[in-house]
Amino acid sequence: MKHHILCINSGSSSMKFALYLLAETEELVVEGEVERIGLPGGWLWIRDGKGSRVVDKHTDFPDHMSAVKAMFTTALDEHHLPAPDGVGQRVAFGGPDRYAPEIVTPGLLLDLRRFIPRAPLHIPPEIKGIEAVAAHYPGLGQVACFDTAFHCSMPEIAKWVPLTRSLRHEGVHRYGFHGLSYEYIVSTLGNALAGKSIIAHLGNGASMAALINGAPQDTTMSFSAVGGLMMGTRCGDLDPGFLIYLMNEKGYDAHRLDLFLNEQTGLLGVSGISPDMKTLLDKRDSEPHAAEAIELFCYTARKFIGTLSAVLNGLDVLVFTGGIGERAAPVRWMICHGLDYLGVQLDPDKNDAHAGIISLDDTPCIVRVVRTNEDLLIARHTRELLFGGAKGKEHEH
């Protein structure tokens, strides 16, 4: 049976979406984004599955409700696209006990509201996205897909942080993020991830995961999406003493720290130019600070590969994914330079061509480049939960 599944990824001022047709094959029908929600100069764009722009609409969107309404009205009514049979919503944080996606219920929404302090930048707009769809299509089944679920099966020792046991009992431990991306890569590569592997999801947000036979063992992000690798506007791991210094000597409060660590550091902070890796690569020959930011990003990534390799006791496969991992050949080269002791040796021509395998032939560690597709994974989960069994049939319409 054919099902059209709409996937939504809600941010504080944006809403990305993709509509898939799932049958014997999987087809992207359209994808798009509503930008600058709640801000002047709003923008809705939609392109078809072949990449051609079919909607380019500039108008203000006061809130997520208006964004969803415009998305449905413009896509369905004006361009005669099929109505979705179900909606999959990306949710950043599912808590310690959610190992898999769930059908959205009032109880789940109640839990998500309790989790807001854990992901204050992500969960509120995600709840708004879920509620906006429910208001526009009250009978439409929705599924929440959690970015933390993939990491829930990590060994307990990898979840611990050396704080007090009372905080551990309150749920203060390492969770990890980008789980939907990791799950997609695992499902795509299958047996090619046999043995010891590291997946490097490198984009504006960046993290890595260590796996044995595709099962998660450790990851670089921790309690929040700020930790681990240096990112576009996020600092990654810090000595807690830096935060105490900023509070005591610079007068930072919690709100200012949150803004600083999430939006003003990372590639943007070090370069003083941009959080965008492509922009920095274009400027690195003329702007020393751009070159320095790139070098620090690659140095940090290389250190974490070493750390995760120690967890695995070796490395058989290294996978690059995410916007930077898939498209920035110089960054991949700089990260891998100096990893010879792990058997990592790149073929420069394959790397420049973004080939599927970019390592030299007959090297101990295979290095791959794989395009991630979290939306397609969300669509698959949504279809399975809503229509895969007897319970799912009641959502069909």
CATH code (residue 109): 3.30.420.40
Do the domain assignments include residue 171? Answer: no
**Residue 378 placed within a domain:** no
One DSSP character per residue, 297-308 reads HHHHHHHHHHHH
What band does 376 get if pLDDT is binned at 50, 70 and 90? very high
Do residue 94 and residue 199 come from a single domain? no
Catalytic residue list contains 147: yes
pLDDT per position as a tens digit, 344-361: 999 999 999 999 999 999
Residues 208 and 331 in one domain: yes
| Torsion sign over Cα 344, 311, 226, 257 | negative
Residue 392 has pLDDT above 60, yes or no: no
Token pair, residue 201, equals 């999801």
Nearest to 116 by CA among 101, 128, 134, 104: 128
State the average pLDDT for the chain.
93
Q: Report whether 208 contacts 198 (CB < 8 A).
A: yes
* 118 and 208 part of one domain: no
In a domain, 393, yes or no: no
Q: What does the pLDDT average to over 87-103?
A: 93
Residues 49 and 136 in one domain: yes
Lowest mean pLDDT among 35-49, 66-80, 229-243, 368-382: 66-80
Same domain? For 116 and 204 the reply is no
145 lies in the same domain as 290:
no
| Residue 80 belongs to some domain of the structure | yes
Same-domain pairing of 36 and 108? yes
Q: Taking residues 43-57, what's their average pLDDT?
A: 90
In a domain, 395, yes or no: no
For residue 222, give the 3-state DSSP assignment: coil
Mean of the pLDDT values across residues 375-392?
Answer: 83
Same-domain status, 322 and 231: yes
pLDDT at 363: 96
Count CB-CB contacts under 10 A for residue 40: 6
Q: Is 176 a member of any domain?
A: no
pTM of this structure: 0.92
| pLDDT at position 117 | 80
Contact 126, 90 (CB under 8 A): yes
- Per the domain annotation, does 207 fall within a domain? yes
Sorting pLDDT into bands at 50, 70 and 90, what band is 362? very high
Q: Give the active site residue among 147, 218, 316, 375.
A: 147
Same domain, yes or no, for 80 and 222? no
Residues 147 and 282 in one domain: no
Q: What does the pLDDT read at residue 78? A: 75
Residue 387 domain-assigned?
no
Residue with tokens 């395998």: 357
- With DSSP H G I counted as helix, E B as strand and the rest as coil, what are the percentages for the chain, rounded to 5? 45, 20, 35
Q: In this structure, are 198 and 147 located in the same domain?
A: no
Higher pLDDT, 144 or 397: 144
- State the total domains in the chain: 2
Find the domain containing 14 and state its range.
Answer: 3-152
SS3 for 34? strand
Tens of pLDDT along 281-335?
A: 999 999 999 999 999 999 999 999 999 999 999 999 999 999 999 999 999 999 9
Bridge partners for 56 per DSSP: 45
Q: Does the pLDDT of residue 393 top 80, yes or no? A: no
Does the pLDDT at position 153 exceed 60? yes
Q: Are 359 and 347 in contact (CB under 8 A)?
A: yes
pLDDT at 152 over 60: yes
Each residue of 232-287: pLDDT tens digit? 999 999 999 999 999 999 999 999 999 999 999 999 999 999 999 999 999 999 99
Instruction: Burial-class residue 9 by CB neighbours within 10 Å (0-12, 13-18, 19+).
Output: buried
**Amino acid 81: pLDDT:** 83
Label residue 38 by pLDDT band (50, 70, 90): confident
Residues 318 and 211 in one domain: yes
Structure tokens at 41: 């100069």
